[in-house]
Structure 1
């Protein structure tokens, strides 16, 4: 099977240097990439860089290789178009149908998903002209992803920073898996997502923890933000994932801290998704100093139960009418298979939806892909086919949206 054809557009902003990392990640993950920079983009990154990383020639104008009609052929032959960075000028030209270079002409002929990753100063992002152009592009089906907040050019900080290249590539992969994965159906909604594992201290050095990387919760937060939601991500301990663009991150390292953070954030939330792997138990006693190795056996470890955050949200919701989604990491045993245990957990917890993952043997934890089942309190059961964690996240939000009050 031929690899997916991706056009990578690069417009002229200081963030253009990050497009080389986007290109590298796309090619290393098996995509065939053709880079179309604007003339001003080549003042930031030379054509040789793009040609070396893609293995394909680079052109900016419609009069290059005219016999191949590139301004039509490139757009029509693409499976996906990603523009990173997308400047305010590029988005204005696309919104108004301009085709005065190879990139904008290819964008007009493309009939595949188009993703724009904006990068500009906060004032430019918030200007009414840009706001209107973004809204117009979205009504046409263009995916304009939310920019990140952080350091901009010079000493300025604010919203308008290009999202991390890994995040752009994750969203690109999602749209290749499922072109309709990012509708703006969560506009005006506030959702809370928990992610990662909790750690319960034994002493200043050791802790009880688990294998959760936080990737599934990150994917849920990222997809919700790109579908228009205001997202609060309550993060336990995770892999080094970086903050998703357009998401407020609240750190909560222990089960008790996570319960407080989730309930506090959920006071005005429309939905709460508990994707975190919360420790069921914590030590009764935490040593003030490191427990030293000695000749004698250490004292037995006494444990006490942590709060059941999911059950608490159902029994005493911070806001009436909230949609509550739980996760169950299960293995089969002598009493039943994974689905049997998932159904039993749903009955105990009483949440609206429960995502059941089979774990062990390299499944679910510390991976980039996932699969499972989505169980509903009303009796519905849907299989979540294997794919990226962002793909699974999109299916979960599909189920949440019609249940929102």
Structure 2
């Protein structure tokens, strides 16, 4: 395309010229001559005035029209809640509890499924005061969504949370030595058990203090009446003897469903020593939920395979203890205890040598012949419970699963 540009004199800007030679030009105003190629080239021509801006304006108009049409066709947005004050938007502070206690149980209403019960208490410094309860299901590995409020305050003189499991599978809870609850497994709720005390003629209206009992006393709760008398309350058989009455009735009392059974304990070589121990199996009359006073400990003397068993006087007088014998005569144990015993399973905790750095072992034995089923290196210091899913170990605020049925896990599985 040919570019057309206006001609002017480079010296005076004149517009009239003569052309004496080809390619040369003479200005008629100043009479100067110059070549046609020396004339300055003008700036590139700009597009003419209105076409570009008009197209841009039309395009913007179309875009605005399209945006308006889309807005009109869009559904109306859901109404948003009004903004909360800054004080309400702040994160809720964590609730802390000064007291906590856990219990491990096999749920009889769910074929022995494992269940962990927790009760926590707070003084009201960082949360509401009082006691609350919830539970943990090891199968789903979840805590209950709602807590149960048991009490609106925590005692000043006595601040305690204590559980007591009975031989029939029932479970009791004592708060601050003043309130008594029993656990309803079907509803998974704690129920006020104070009426049990009121229905007992020797306790009605007179109990001022409640404590859990010792295992060797059977299924008894220790209570103190207003006149200062300590009694042993057996909820399942509705008895409340004093200690002297209990000692006299131990040999003579027979539970309607009493049966002869075998139990296991460890006997030391000499009273009060920390030397080797022998595993003893004893035969006794099981009074189930009734009075029982199998206290104290057994001794054995001699070396190696010595079979002599010495009974302490208060044990010897009991007709319930019928016979004893060495269960594993070829083995000795140190710092030993029976962790669990029933007709199908016997689990003991011990150290294989007296050395202070010796590992702590948890061992499963056949309760019939003493054969070793399995052994785990485990610091046993807690509550071992047999459930439909195997054995679980509760150590303080930690829960471990140590077996699947009768088969031990490669290592304890911590659940929380």
TM-score by length of 2: 0.29
Name whichever structure is richer in strand by fraction: 2
User: Higher relative contact order by CA 8 Å / sep ≥ 6: 1 or 2?
Assistant: 1
Name whichever structure is richer in helix by fraction: 1
Structure of larger gyration radius: 2
